[in-house]
Chain A
């Protein structure tokens, strides 16, 4: 068949199809064609989406690496935030406990522990409030719900040093909560333990008795908790008996304390 003849046939068919289309004669085959295209088109479109996903996965490898780095740094940041949150929660708990105790107090100053004394064989804390806020030497410092942790031994304008109750120079007049008559002196032992001494032999000391301040010293009110009796040392030939006291707070992990100023 010659090209000329084919051209004429093609153009004739084209004209026929176009006229048939615009006059609606070919509606049935056209609908059939559209049905076929829709059905196959859907499957092909899904293939297209799968292909695009596949290609995007490979083309975005570098982006994936960046995203991974971002995730890692974000994870670190979140871990840091979580640690901060945990710390805040603990501080909040401590503050609530102290607030419960301080409801009936007239004056107090809340302070943060900013360091520890560097002097050897001493147990000193450095707090971030000082004489400028009214902190004075010998004022008691508490933590939690009325647990005495020490007394102020030195002040600067904006800092103060607190001698902890386990410091070997610490001496506090103490008593047993169960009896008003039992009294003694609580002394620190090189930052390692606390001992209640000078308790008369006729007084009854028992394990798990609560030891509080006796109120015999100036600036040191009665009723601040010092610790709990752990073991009692009572020798018949000694004039006084003694007891090892277990602090109810970990004195090495203090972060917020309160200075009682009244």
Chain B
């Protein structure tokens, strides 16, 4: 029970840090997506989709309260990113190594952006579209992936230091 309580408290804290602290940094440092990092790290380390989706819902709802895009877009994008990450964790990046986490971070960031972009385009949100330059939007994906992966790497290194369960599993050829 306390785990769910922690998740419920963690959601608004992550959202507040994302919106008020990181978003105010200069480019490219404002491209760090703390919410996605937290979701991926939780999913990668605990393999608990229910907890990850709960955190996504909680943090996403708070982020929705302070975005200009129509309500629901970010929650939907979060869901797609987490769901696809979960699928990749189970079927592609199964060894829980650092490389798997980095690849997962890069692809999930791209999926999150793509889904948000598609939602904007599908619903033709006119007050958001002029502000979003496609070239800049996709170009800024690169610093986002780099920053997200740096944070994920740091998190994984720290987690591996404190627990042995985080070690990656590799097939060794005899």
Residues of A within 8 A of B (CB): 1, 3, 6-7, 9-11, 13-14, 17-18, 21-22, 30, 33-34, 36-37, 40-42, 44-45, 47-49, 51-52
Contact = CB atoms under 8 A, between A and B. Distances in A.
Contact of A41 (B16, B25, B56): B16
User: What is the size category of the interface that chain B forms with chain A?
Assistant: 20 to 34
6 contacts: A3-B86, A10-B56, A13-B57, A14-B57, A33-B62, A37-B16
A11 B72 CA distance: 11
B57 A34 contact: no
Contacts of B49: 3, 6
Nearest to A49: B24
Interface string B50-79: 100100110001101110000110011001
A9 B79 CA distance: 11
A21 B72 contact: yes
B20 A40 contact: yes
Given A14-B76, A18-B72, 16 more contacts: A6-B53, A10-B53, A10-B56, A17-B61, A17-B72, A18-B71, A18-B75, A33-B12, A36-B12, A37-B19, A40-B12, A40-B13, A41-B20, A42-B20, A44-B17, A51-B25
A171 B25 CA distance: 85
A45 B56 CA distance: 23
Interface of B: 12-13, 15-17, 19-21, 24-26, 49-50, 53, 56-57, 61-62, 64-66, 71-72, 75-76, 79, 83, 86
